[in-house]
Amino acid sequence: MGICLSAEAGEVPRAAELGLPRNFTVFKELGAGGEGRTYLVRERLGNGRSELFAAKVAPRGAGLDVGYLLQGIKNQCALSHVNIIRLLEVILTHSHVIIKLEYAQGGELSDYIARQHAQSSSQQLSEEHARFLFMQMLDAVAHCHERGIVHRDIKLSNVLLDSGKCPRVKVCDFGLSRELFTGDSRCCPPAGTPMYMPPEVLKNVVRRAHTQHDPVKSDMWSLGVLLFTMLLGRFPFGAQKPFGGPALSRGAGRLTRSQGNISAGAAGPRDFQRSDFRFLLRNMVKAHSSDLKRLRSETWGTRKLSPDCRDLMDGLLAMDPSKRLGLADAFAHKWVNGPLFLEHAQTIARGREEMEKRQDEGEGVKGAKAGLEDDAELAAIAAMAAAVGTPGDELLRWTPPRERAGREQAGVADEELFDLPGGLRDRAISI
């Protein structure tokens, strides 16, 4: 009989319920979204080693959007950055498609912020602490855009952290990502999570239109919302009703977990009305008053933020996307280049040095994408995911080209697994 570990989220499926053999163990649920659930899973590799990973699980069948599945996999595999979650493998069982991802043991950014001691009753993280995290997010998003990919769903729950004392940011979930420089990249349907959507995207939702917008500037708006929430512990604009769970009320607007997102072709999150989008748009206009490039002083209230910090957020949250800061503007901004604690500066420097080393070793854009475009095996697995019942007892597995060389060194020794930071030794076990 397999082992099931208890978890705060409640019951978790046994490996067999996901079509996985006995050398897999499902420990706990890490998260849930519109595209499926994510679990912490261990695979015994048979060489005295085990691998701990995050498994994004979706049932097979006609309800699975194969096009978006394949697009998300290809886009994520085309990226290789220390601040982006690695996609390790795609597994097809008789009942589920499982995307095997790097496990970020520090959890979601929202939980990390909640654990920090608030600087005051009106401020969450210090400016230096927020700067340390925000710089890493900028590095990750810049890597995406340089490789012709927009994320389109940057939010607190899609920013994870490793287990380090000075945590390394890990951006995840590329299910709604899109390639730039394609013929329809500026006319793509609205997508994302409402509280992080820029006004030009919200207008498309309200009007049910596909008016052209710049998805790069949409990502920049979302980064502005993230920075605001890190510093002030709340969203910059109120919401009429919860977005897919505990979220913002019309009067409060405190920082909570918000999960409901919009994918292409969907009208909006469950129980979310167009009137809610209109309310959000009105709040955005009200917060900017007559100057659409600058937030009103009432938006900050008694928040004691530096003028440089406010200037950066004004630029990121400009209503007019043509006036909104781009990545180059953000990197050059005085606040972003402000002081860091030594250990924070060292963490960022090590990440950038590692990226320089990867570039020197020839991890090019064309090579990464070309290998994926021509990978018939991946395309076949994605097509099979729309049907239930195959491949039978055998698992179909696909490994990205970048990950294939190191698979024989994957995982850690079995006896070390429970002693890892964030490991499993203290968890309750039920047989």
Give the model's confidence band at 310: pLDDT under 50 very low, under 70 low, under 90 confident, else very high. very high
Label residues 179-206 b or e (16+ Cβ within 10 Å = b).
bbeeeebeebbbbbbbbbbbbbbbbbbb
More confident residue, 164 or 120: 164
Give the domain extent around 296.
113-340
SS3 content of the chain, % helix, strand, coil (to 5): 35, 15, 45
Q: Is 153 considered catalytic here?
A: yes
The percentage of residues in the chain with a pLDDT greater than 70, rounded to a whole number, is 75
Residues 220 and 332 in one domain: yes
Active-site pick, 139, 153, 219, 314: 153
For residues 259 and 405, what is the distance between their CA atoms, to the nearest angstrom?
Answer: 36
Asked if pLDDT for residue 316 goes beyond 70, the answer is: yes
Q: Given this model, what pLDDT does residue 11 score?
A: 78
The rounded radius of gyration (Å) of the Cα atoms in the chain is 22
Q: Report pLDDT digits (tens) over 237-264.
A: 875 332 333 333 223 333 333 444 544 4
CATH number of the domain enclosing 282: 1.10.510.10
More confident residue, 80 or 391: 80
pTM (2 decimals)?
0.84
CATH number of the domain enclosing 401: 3.30.200.20
Residues 215 and 87 in one domain: no
Give the model's confidence band at 409: pLDDT under 50 very low, under 70 low, under 90 confident, else very high. low
Q: Report pLDDT digits (tens) over 90-130.
A: 999 999 999 999 999 999 999 998 888 766 666 789 999 99
More confident residue, 100 or 401: 100
Residues 390 and 308 in one domain: no
For residues 284 and 295, what is the distance between their CA atoms, to the nearest angstrom?
Answer: 9
Give the model's confidence band at 407: pLDDT under 50 very low, under 70 low, under 90 confident, else very high. low
Residues 235 and 326 in one domain: yes
